[in-house]
Structure 1
Amino acid sequence: MAEMNEVREARSPPAAPEQPMEEDEDRIRELARLCYDEGIFTGSIDPGEMTINGHEATFRVKARIDQTKVKWLKNHTVTMIFREGARFLPKKVKDDAVRAYEDDRLQDGAFEATTFRKARVKVESPNVVSYVAKSTQVEDWLMMKGRDEVMLGTTKCVLEFKPWVTQAQLREQRRQEEEANFWVVVVQVSLGAMLYSEAQVSKAIGPVIRAHHQNRIGRIRL
């Protein structure tokens, strides 16, 4: 039995070494930069504690690693909020609206065209876009503006520029907006029903405060 125990102990794999990344915030910041700035992903970061439920895997990431990531994003990212009718613009138009600010600064000579690099744009929700600036000049300029209005075709695009918000903050902001606004989305309305759509919504749900019509999609705010 003693020999069997010795064999089993010899076959047992050694304990995995503790990942050093919690102790090395510089490394975490560099991994964050590579991910959000360069688009390079890594498998060497601690993925967190995993829980399996059927076919789903849920991870609880380590607080210190996540806090370092959040700090990096807050230092490099601007949250752009599309207000009024601009919230329903297609993703491509939102991207174009954001890029227009970069193009304006390049054209007026504020940024050196040969060294300037376009930022990463991520649509977080129908009216929220995260702009991961590769130049602190762009980030500082947008934060100083705070708010802007531009015309995209016939649509007035109202934007607000704020520091980057976490997913928890975004959910809370969305909850507050949903409490204050109720939207009815009318998609692909037939010609025969178009004439009555707003009046019928008003009678079924309540008075219409504002309506936005874009191509074949109508959105009514109550």
Structure 2
Amino acid sequence: MKETPLRHWVIGDVHGCHTSLLDLLAVLPVQDHLIFCGDVICRRGGIDACMHLIWDLVCCGRATWLRGNHEQALIHSLQDVGEGSQTASTHQWLHRLNQLPLLYRADGWCATHAGFNSDGEPDLSIREPFWETYDGRYGRVVIGHTPRPAVERHQRIVLIDTGAVYGGLLSAYCPETDAVVQVRGQRSQDPRPAAAEGERVSALLRGDWTRC
């Protein structure tokens, strides 16, 4: 029996939109690999829940979490606390965040948070200079970082941050099929009880998508 080829879904900036993240995970194929394009954190109240959920997905092999500029800022902040003043949780998250890669490479495409600098290194804050000068050396590049009203497909670049935290959409893009899956951003959703969200997280981690 021929195996179904692995597909990937690159997910735009979550920014702590926990309910939107749960909604998106509930509709993505469970066998596919998820790539979080950085900036999982900051701006919304669900940051802690998003971090724990995505880290659990990383640990079970279902996801890759790329470093964004907000993760890098948190690393610097945690380092500034000083080892003697760090709590166990602070030390644990500093260790985890330091493991986050800057780049995910696949056949004919790659994903990184914002783009590459003139030396060809991942740059967590670059915008127009990368869009205007990228020569295609790494294949098609899927990036987040800069909110757009819709997923934008350019010749060699795909921009997938659709501003979920600002009331836009949380988007996932499949490089193998060019498909896009989207759910509503956090500000446009009615709040759900915390207990209900906890049940959905447990179901997702068990692979039980019927509860979501």
TM normalised by structure 2 equals 0.23
**Whose relative contact order is higher, 1 or 2, with alpha carbons under 8 Å and at least 6 apart?**
2
Which structure is higher in helix share? 1
Q: TM-score, normalised by structure 1?
A: 0.22
Which structure: larger Rg? 1
